[in-house]
Amino acid sequence: MAGNSFGQIFRITTFGESHGAGIGVVIDGCPAGLEIDEQYIQQQLDRRRPGQSAIVTQRKEPDNFQILSGVFEGISTGSPLALFIPNTNQKPKDYSHIKDLYRPSHADMTYQEKYGRRDHRGGGRASARETAARVAAGAIARLLLQQADITIQAGVTQVGQLKLEQAIEKIQWAEAANNPVRCPNAQLAAEMESLIQEIKKSGDTVGGKISCYITNCPVGLGDPVFDKLHADLGKAMLSINAVKGFEYGSGFGSVEMRGSEHNDKWVAGAAQKQTATNHSGGIQGGISNGMPIYFNVAFKPVATIMQDQASISKDGEAATVSGKGRHDPCVVPRAVPIVEAMAALVLADHYLRDKVVRL
């Protein structure tokens, strides 16, 4: 109800603020019997954590997690799984200068007016630090999906005007692990890295796009009408900080197409039902059809820039917000594991939901 939970059967509730004790998540509905590979969870957190490369924020947060409940002898018990990531490198003073200011394109004003107060330190609850909890929970969702051989891969396919021009099914996703931008194309990655470095030097930031590709998803995930698989994926992605758009399959490009070219023809006589093209993006009528699922997520440029900006105080008076602290010049490299985590949470939930819809 208050917006901090996600999922129906595999349901997570996150808590914590940027500069409080830490960030945590309770997973209620993780099936008993799942081996909880702590190393894997930490790996995922390491992909998101600050300070991992020269093109991301230089904050030093190790993001080590603790399991507070729900695991016994390394196996999930069916009880709520609570994970906690203590905050260790907070510098609240970095934020004292904005205590009574509203930064442009931040959540300062809306939180203040909605709740009548706000924790101004590092954005409080609005901080992207909250996504650490999503990555931790998403890692557990992925452990569950591994049981069904479902694979989720994401990568950066655009930064500014540098855009990967490649058919989605041709992309070498594993390549994204080999460069700090997480672009699945080595040459483009190098260009993106240069661009980000350059923008960083100018005290500015830049937007980006992440594409995600899911293979081996069985037929049948997703529910009709409101909880269509792509509707839940869309909500999941749009709930990530800085996201401005979502499209799946043919996406916005479908607007210019004719039905006769857009329709995905079924291949006759195939062992597993499949289509010749995949404009549907692996989802028909909101339900997975066994083809690869893919979608794009648009991220705006980070709002915190290292430049002085004219702004206002809480009382509406003119004020200057100067850029301080340690921030990302481009959010997409660190957002790749977040996109994968949110996709995993949606799929894990629908994987379980699908088990009760027929006799």
Kindly state whether residue 333 participates in binding a copy of itself, applying the rule CB under 8 A: no
Using rule CB under 8 A, residue 211 touches a copy of itself = no
Using an 8 Å Cβ cutoff, are 282 and 213 in contact? no
Q: Which of 214, 289, 340, 341 binds a copy of itself (CB under 8 A)?
A: 289
For residues 148 to 167, the per-residue mask of contacts with a copy of itself, x marking binding by CB under 8 A and - elsewhere, is ----------xxxx------
* Min CB(163)–a copy of itself separation in Å: 9
Q: Looking at beta carbons only, is 74 or 174 nearer to a copy of itself?
A: 74
Least distance to a copy of itself, CB of residue 220, Å:
4
CB atoms near residue 268 (< 10 Å)? 5
7, 97, 305, 318 from 45: Cα distances, Å:
21, 30, 25, 40
Q: Does 355 bind a copy of itself (CB under 8 A)?
A: yes
Q: What is the spatial distance between Cα 358 and Cα 139, in angstroms, rounded to a whole number?
A: 29
- Closest CB to a copy of itself among residues 174, 203: 203
Q: Is 40 in the site for a copy of itself (CB under 8 A)?
A: no
Q: Is 82 in the site for a copy of itself (CB under 8 A)?
A: yes
Residue 82 or 176 with smaller CB distance to a copy of itself: 82
Cα–Cα distances in Å, from 230 out to 117, 135, 177, 288, 349? 35, 20, 26, 9, 13
Least distance from a copy of itself to the Cβ atom of residue 130, Å:
6
- If phi > 0 it is left, if psi is from -120 to 50 it is alpha, else beta; for residue 130 that is alpha
Single residue of 56, 196, 305, 338 touching a copy of itself by CB under 8 A: 305
287 lies in the site for a copy of itself, by CB under 8 A = yes
284/71 Cα distance (integer angstroms): 37
Question: Count residues contacting a copy of itself (CB under 8 A)?
Answer: 149
232-271: contacts with a copy of itself (CB under 8 A)? 232, 234-236, 238-239, 244-252, 254-260, 262-270
Among 45, 214, 298, 341, which residue interacts with a copy of itself (rule: CB under 8 A)?
298
The binder of a copy of itself chosen from 171, 199, 293, 347 (CB under 8 A): 199
Q: Measure the CA–CA gap between 114 and 14, rounded to whole angstroms.
A: 20
Segment near a copy of itself (CB under 8 A), from 46-54, 111-119, 176-184, 186-194? 111-119
C-alpha dihedral sign at 102, 104, 108, 109: positive
Q: Provide DSSP, 274-340.
A: -BSS-TTTTEETTEE-SSPEEEEEEEPPPS--SS-EEEEETTS-EEEE---S---S-SHHHHHHHHH
Cα(93)–Cα(82) distance, integer angstroms: 30
C-beta closer to a copy of itself: residue 61 or 247: 247
Query: According to CB under 8 A, which one of 51, 62, 78, 292 is a site residue for a copy of itself?
Result: 78
Q: Which residues contact 198 (CB under 8 A, 6 or more apart)?
A: none
Question: Closer CB to a copy of itself, residue 174 or residue 261?
Answer: 261
Our finding on whether 317 is near a copy of itself (CB under 8 A) is yes
Give the Cα separation of 353 and 341 in Å (integer).
Answer: 18
